[in-house]
Structure 1
Amino acid sequence: MIVVHILWLFSFLIRFDAKVKIITNITALIFLMIHLGFEGYRWQMGLTYILFIFLTVFTLKSFIQRNAEKAIVESMKNKRKDKKYLYILFIIIYSLGSFGLVTVMPVFQLPKPAGPFEVGMNSRHLIDESRHDSEQNVRELMIQIWYPAEVEDDVKDIHYESFPYEEWSGTMEFIFSAPRFLFEYLKYGQTNSIKDVAVSNQEDKFPVLLFSHGYGSTRMQSFSQMEELASHGYFVVSVDHTNDAAFTKFPDGREIMNQTDAYSYSFDIEDETDVKRRSRDMSYVLDQLATINDKDPQGLLTGKMDMDRIGIFGHSYGGSTAAQALLDDSRISAGINIDGPLHEPVASSGFEQSFMFILDDDYLYIPDEEIQYTNITPEEFQKYHDKITELADFHYKEGIKGDTFMLTFIEGDHYTFTDFPFLSPLLSWNIDVNQFHQVMNRYILAFFDHYVKGEEPDSLLRKEKKEDKFYYFRANIKNH
């Protein structure tokens, strides 16, 4: 559609016959109707919509009045040479602006899961009346459940869910203070999840993995990773930590935004209040999953979750939560921390279960130009950074009693572990995001397959040390 508009602009510059302009106009109209009818409008195309109206007016005018261009030139009192320069400048601006916007903020499709199962998805609204906080009368949580799905062989047209733009636009508003409508186009993104489809009968029941999001993020932050794990035979349950999440929307339409500043994270490993609350969220969700598994009010998940095989993982502050939950809840047999710090009391006591650290090579490092937005000085941050790095290394070596693993990525950054890079090529510059996620997910699957499913350890975990230009891996097998 944009290409046709550029050709159309050249037709005014080169002075094509009016009939050629009419044909181009009709072609542009056809593309516009197809775009709006099958894709829907999005603001990145706003310049093209406006240009279509103006060019249509000029085209009709030139068709009726052959000397329209001459009249315009006279009214502007410019020479034809000056007019051509203006046309060329406008064509360049339009081309760069239009192609730039749809390239930088594209409509995308999440990568296809590699596992043998289709992926189902279900959401639940949970109310914990035993707990209260300042923002809510009772503790309310939204959870998202992905699971191995059963799709009939004769089903030809599978309806996959759209990308969760409401949660993501709310998150982007919190992080960047940007209006939500700028991210409304995300609703055109495609996932690989089927809403409320039947659970697969290939196995009697499937193990459960809990996921905790990062500070000021959303339970939808790692959608593609949830799909990947579910496609390999897991129930994956992601929890919105209400008030700590950037944005939570409940089924009745209520919305709760995080009221703090995006940079107000506490750089203090002694500050255990929030991580303990998150850990209680995870234990409460496990309680509710057990109830749903006994008798699901929706008649969908009854008896399909193996509540004796449970793992947990999380990103950033969610990684801190995963570690805390392992200390607090003995039902969880293994956990993974994806680029998160360890807080007290885990920092001092450790725990018994097996654990994997998945870290960026710069492990939560913040440059000085970003530290100015936080509530600490560069010197205070350096002290904090040295401490969390020391703790991760200590617990990998001996502080955690179970087997421990350390997977460190040389490329990427803190947000590459999530779905953020799929939103824009600017967030994945010089990074092969698909390879990054494939490597990360292979190690996560190998870890949970062994320590949650009880399968024989994958060869990935048996290698005590592996290095390449992309990542390096270390294994500390303590329980031979």
Structure 2
Amino acid sequence: MRVLEMVLVASSVLVLMVLLFRNTINRTTEAIAGVACGSLLAVQLLFEGYRWQMIPAYIVAALLLAFVLFRRRKVGKLLRYTILALSIVLLGVSVALSVLLPVFHLPKPLGEFSVGTETFHFIDDDREESFTEQKGDKRELVVQVWYPAAESGRSAEKNSVFPKDRRLFHAYMQAYSGYLGLPAPTLDYWKYSKANTSIHADLHPADNPYPVVLLSHGMGVGRILHTSQAEHLASHGYIVFAVDHTYSTVMTAFPDGRKTGFLTEQSQERLFEDSRAILDVWNKDTAFIVNQLEKLHSGAITSKFEGMLDIDNIGMLGHSFGGAAAFEAVYSNPRIKAGVNMDGTLFITKDRDDMKKPFMFMESEDFMNVNEQQAKYRKTPATDAELKGLRLTREQFDTILANRETELKLMDRLSQQGYGRTVYIEGAGHYNFTDLQLYSPLIGLTGMTGSMNGARGAEIVNRYLLEFFNQHLRGIESKLLAGPTEDYPEVKYPSSVFQGE
């Protein structure tokens, strides 16, 4: 709960006690307590702002004020105790809702730098948009960058997680409410959540260019869910470019006010064919962004980043489908040195054994559970009942099984060659690799995140990402990546991910 919300609830409890023991407290004291409670309600609404989780507490505060100011006669014991019980229930509901659906703030980055952010709108004039049917429609991308900010950025107002513009914010809430299956008004309180960045802050001066990390989101969400990862890396001296892969996001907003939604087709019947076609588009997005980085660095595109991007040290990370995109980009693009796949299935595995670049697979706890099931199904085919439960035909199931086997063998071979590294995190679910784990402890009940505390999950992911890129983009040897550690016992290092023949 926010500070004034806690004070409001406490004052309401105090007034309730005054009413309960009114025989020993005079009318003036009672009135002062009631007015104070009402005043605190007004102050909380004015300075912190309304949110629906506090409606029961607002009702209690308003009714208590009215009761104290306008009561003309003694109230019977039964009514007093009824008011007390009802008020305590309402206050308890507000406290519970506020704790379970909090105004979240992203964890403060631990690096030495303040963090700045700004957004670019790039148009690839050489590429037709493949997700629309409009002729001459060029591929457009919105890319947000986080970077080490000059000292003046510390005193600047911190950016919110979502856009402050009212119309744009509500558009995002409509989009995310559809994604989460919730009414849009229930997400309205997200407008209060703070990031740790200053918009358009000056770049922190440095003698040498900063290494660069590209970031690719999962299918159907967007770059916003990876803000804390970008902030953390930027606070440690990286410049992070996160793309919204247009038409594969919950929503992309362009500077001229246009908004696009999700138009990507990825059917169960053609899962691998569709996914490989989408990966081709995303891989071209990444290659195009790398070209834009070179223009930013050379000054061909005017920006604060002229001469400050270390084009020789570019890494990439991605989550889910974005993790598959990271693997493909690192493999195919000679300008990207190293990468991380956070819990993403590889849809292209053929002829990828010759990748001689560092790559880390960070997996959820389910990763090893699925591998064990994989081994079981190699020995005993899935029953018709199991296939019905999975909503798959036998042909579809066998195709998924075969791709999974090829993927696991590839991961093992890369590890054996000394280029790949696979870890999985006990207690982590798929969305523990995003900021969604910080939004509410209730997220875990949906199965989107695991049993792990969200703050702990963010700490682990951010620490391992930093260690990986420090080692492979800066040449700082990491003891953390060498094997299991007492600091993070949740992180496991399997000797092999393929469960035998």
Fold agreement, TM-score > 0.5 = yes
Q: Give the structure 2 partner of residue 73 of structure 1.
A: none
1:352 to 356, 361, 370: 356
Give the root-mean-square deviation of aligned CA atoms.
Answer: 3.3
Pick closer, same or farther for the CA change 1:442–1:57 going to 2, 3 Å. Answer: closer
Q: String of CA shifts for 1:237-277, please: whole Å, max 9, x gaps.
A: 1110111111111222222222579x967883443111211
Matched position secondary structure for 1:142: strand
Q: Give the structure 2 partner of residue 35 of structure 1.
A: 44
Q: Structure 2: which amino acid aligns with 1:396?
A: M
Residue 257 (structure 2) pairs with residue 268 (structure 1): no
Q: String of CA shifts for 1:362-400, please: whole Å, max 9, x gaps.
A: 029799xxx999993397886576456534431222158
Task: Identify unmatched segments of 5+ residues in structure 2.
Answer: 1-7, 164-168, 374-385, 445-449, 497-501
Cα deviation, residue 282, structure 1:
1.1
Q: String of CA shifts for 1:268-302, please: whole Å, max 9, x gaps.
A: 34431112111111111111222222226554221
Pick closer, same or farther for the CA change 1:52–1:252 going to 2, 3 Å. Answer: farther
Q: Give the structure 2 partner of residue 4 of structure 1.
A: 11
Matched position secondary structure for 2:177: helix
Cα deviation, residue 358, structure 1:
0.2
1:319 to 309, 320, 323: 323
The normalised TM-score by structure 1 is 0.84
Pick closer, same or farther for the CA change 1:95–1:36 going to 2, 3 Å. Answer: closer
What percent identity do the matched residue pairs reach?
A: 29
Q: Give the structure 2 partner of residue 110 of structure 1.
A: 106
The normalised TM-score by structure 2 is 0.81
Superposed, which structure 2 residues align to 1:237-276 within 5 Å? 237-258=241-262, 268-271=271-274, 272-276=276-280
1:395 to 379, 386, 410: 410
1:458 to 478, 486, 500: 478
Matched position secondary structure for 1:121: strand
Q: Structure 2: which amino acid aligns with 1:426?
A: L
Contact 2:161 2:224 in 1 (8 A): no
Pick closer, same or farther for the CA change 1:470–1:461 going to 2, 3 Å. Answer: closer
Q: Structure 2: which amino acid aligns with 1:131?
A: E
Contact 1:310 1:331 in 2 (8 A): yes
Pick closer, same or farther for the CA change 1:146–1:373 going to 2, 3 Å. Answer: farther
Q: Give the structure 2 partner of residue 66 of structure 1.
A: 73
Matched position secondary structure for 1:405: strand
2:214 to 185, 188, 210: 210
Matched position secondary structure for 2:214: strand
Matched position secondary structure for 2:424: strand
Q: Give the structure 1 partner of residue 90 of structure 2.
A: 94
Q: Structure 1: which amino acid aligns with 2:161?
A: F
Cα deviation, residue 123, structure 1:
0.8
Pick closer, same or farther for the CA change 1:258–1:326 going to 2, 3 Å. Answer: same
Residue 421 (structure 2) pairs with residue 431 (structure 1): no
The count of corresponding residues between Structure 1 and Structure 2 is 454
Contact 2:38 2:65 in 1 (8 A): no
Q: Give the structure 1 partner of residue 177 of structure 2.
A: 173
Per mean C-alpha deviation after superposition, the further-off stretch among 419-428 and 272-281 is 419-428
Q: Give the structure 2 partner of residue 440 of structure 1.
A: 461
Matched position secondary structure for 2:141: strand
Contact 2:114 2:154 in 1 (8 A): no
Q: Structure 2: which amino acid aligns with 1:418?
A: T
Distance in 1 of aligned mates of 2:284 and 2:114: 31
Distance in 1 of aligned mates of 2:369 and 2:245: 24
Superposed, which structure 2 residues align to 1:87-166 within 5 Å? 87-129=83-125, 130-135=127-132, 137-152=137-152, 157-164=155-162, 166=169
Contact 1:170 1:247 in 2 (8 A): no
Distance in 1 of aligned mates of 2:246 and 2:426: 33
Contact 1:168 1:218 in 2 (8 A): no
Task: Identify unmatched segments of 5+ residues in structure 1.
Answer: 71-79
Pick closer, same or farther for the CA change 1:417–1:60 going to 2, 3 Å. Answer: same
Per mean C-alpha deviation after superposition, the further-off stretch among 380-389 and 216-225 is 380-389
Residue 29 (structure 2) pairs with residue 25 (structure 1): no
Matched position secondary structure for 1:215: coil
Pick closer, same or farther for the CA change 1:260–1:448 going to 2, 3 Å. Answer: closer
Residue 438 (structure 2) pairs with residue 422 (structure 1): yes
Contact 2:121 2:254 in 1 (8 A): yes
Q: String of CA shifts for 1:44-75, please: whole Å, max 9, x gaps.
A: 2223333333333322211xx234x46xxxxx
